[in-house]
Amino acid sequence: MPSTTFVLKEPTSKEETLVYLIFRFNNSKLKYSTGQKILSKFWNTENHRARETKLFKDHLEFNTSLNDLEAFINSRYRTLVNDGEKINVEILRSLIDQKLEKKNTVYTKLLIPFIEQLISQTTKGKNTVKNYEQTKKKLSEYEIAYKLKLKFTDIDLDFYNTFYNFCTGRGFSTNTIGNLIKNIKVFMNEALDRKLHNNVEYKNKRFKTVEEDSENIYLANKEIDILYNLNLEANSKLDKVRDVFIISCFTGLRYSDLIKLTDDNIIDHHTKLKIQTEKTGEVVIIPLHPYIRQIIIKHKGVPKYEISNQKMNDYLKDLGELAGLNEQVLISGTKGGIKISESQEKYKLITMHTARRSFATNGYLMQIPAISLMKLTGHKTEKAFLKYIKISQEENANKLINHPFFNL
């Protein structure tokens, strides 16, 4: 039996968020943005409608609109079934588009309008949406430079080479170009699944997502100890930044998960942390390091520090400088097709992601099995997880020195 419900795009957002229609039928699911926005505090999670409250004066009209849309999709679905017509997600989406008098871009042959529609419909996180927007922007710049409008059929090896050279000419790094190509393949796959084209040139092995080792840093346990023991009584701002960073160093949580932590996430008599991660939806359970337990006691609960990730990264550099993390680190990469190497003080390279990388690397060096660490970080493949392991040749040798293979 088909079922219809409405859900919020970002149920924890403090700003207005989109309401999505979810229609399930024949093992398929239609996700459709209604265009309606509401504050989550006015949303009733039990009946999936706006709360009937004086604080939200438009609740009657709001709910009437949702009820009308639900009745419409149920009615059209029954009609198609009774008439023996073909039913799929795109047919139903098109019917709703027509009802709401939306411009139907589903069947367009142009790539960028499709990307815009995909962005408006996606239920993925803010960072993914931002990533998609950035790719759309670069493709738009490419269109302007070459005075064309990209169609699905244009995405072939000739496009790949031209777009790659375009990005290189603009000084993009290898990993930036790789990320753009990865997203283009995502867009093309989605359009192919929707039967909007039959072009599979982008699946050619030469249409590859390029990448190189970015040589990102991690902090060894002794460096984390220095940060933890740093006296910051005179600077409450950096004190809280330090504590949030330490929590990430011993949980591996991304910043998007750290900022939504509450005391309810601490379970089993303050011995474990349990959370559903924002990016992947994975539920992870992580033993609490003694440092984290002390931080919770210090703040009389999980510390909250809701500032932007970028601002947090700026403060971490100040923190690293105070801690004397001045070791020179050689950073190399490719920009604009040119190999570049430069040396920088370690503190200038510290970001929130350094904590997650430190968690994975230190755990690995201390003999925690990779599969166990992946359960904690939420990685689904060992290949993706191993990118986080940042150890030198000497550290690798020290790790193996007592291995039976070298002690026969």
d(CA 86, CA 94): 13
Q: What is the pLDDT of residue 102?
A: 56
Q: What is the pLDDT of residue 103?
A: 44
pLDDT at 210 over 90: no
Q: Which residues contact 227 (CB under 8 A, 6 or more apart)?
A: 219, 242, 245, 246, 319, 320, 323
376-400 mean pLDDT:
75
- Comparing 202-206, 233-237, 330-334, the range with the smallest average pLDDT is 330-334
- Comparing 10-14, 247-251, 348-352, 382-386, the range with the smallest average pLDDT is 382-386
> Model confidence over 145-201: pLDDT tens digits?
999 999 999 999 999 999 999 999 999 988 899 999 999 999 999 989 888 889 999
d(CA 309, CA 327): 24
Residue 170 has which token pair? 């603009």
Q: What is the pLDDT of residue 388?
A: 73
> Model confidence over 291-331: pLDDT tens digits?
999 999 999 999 887 788 889 999 999 999 999 999 988 77
Q: Which fold has domain 111-203?
A: DNA polymerase; domain 1 (1.10.150)
Q: Which residue has the higher pLDDT, 201 or 279?
A: 201
CATH class (in words) of the domain with range 221-406: mainly alpha
Q: What is the pLDDT of residue 333?
A: 67
Q: What is the pLDDT of residue 224?
A: 96
What's the 3-state SS for the chain?
CCEEEEEECCCCCCCCEEEEEEEEECCEEEEEEEEEEECHHHEECCCCEECCCCCCCCHHHHHHHHHHHHHHHHHHHHHHHHCCCCCCHHHHHHHHHHHCCCCCCCCCCEHHHHHHHHHHHCCCCHHHHHHHHHHHHHHHHHHHHHCCCCEHHHCCHHHHHHHHHHHHHCCCEHHHHHHHHHHHHHHHHHHHHCCCCCCCHHHCCCCCCCCCCCCCCCCCHHHHHHHHCCCCCCCHHHHHHHHHHHHHHCCCCCHHHHCCCCHHHEECCCCEEEEECCCCCCEEEEECCHHHHHHHHHHCCCCCCCCCHHHHHHHHHHHHHHCCCCCEEEEEEEECCEEEEEEEEHHHHCCHHHHHHHHHHHHHHCCCCHHHHHHHHCCCCHHHHHCCCCCCHHHHHHHHCCCHHHCC
pTM of the model as a whole: 0.60
> Count of CB atoms within 10 A of residue 31's CB?
15
Band the pLDDT of 391: cuts 50, 70, 90.
Answer: low
Band the pLDDT of 91: cuts 50, 70, 90.
Answer: confident
d(CA 78, CA 80): 5
Can you give the residue ranges of every domain in the chain?
3-99, 111-203, 221-406
d(CA 139, CA 131): 13
Asked if 260 contacts 251 with a C-beta cutoff of 8 angstroms, the reply is no
Q: Which residue has the higher pLDDT, 96 or 158?
A: 158
> Model confidence over 97-149: pLDDT tens digits?
877 765 444 445 789 988 988 888 777 777 788 899 999 999 999 999 999 99
d(CA 321, CA 350): 10
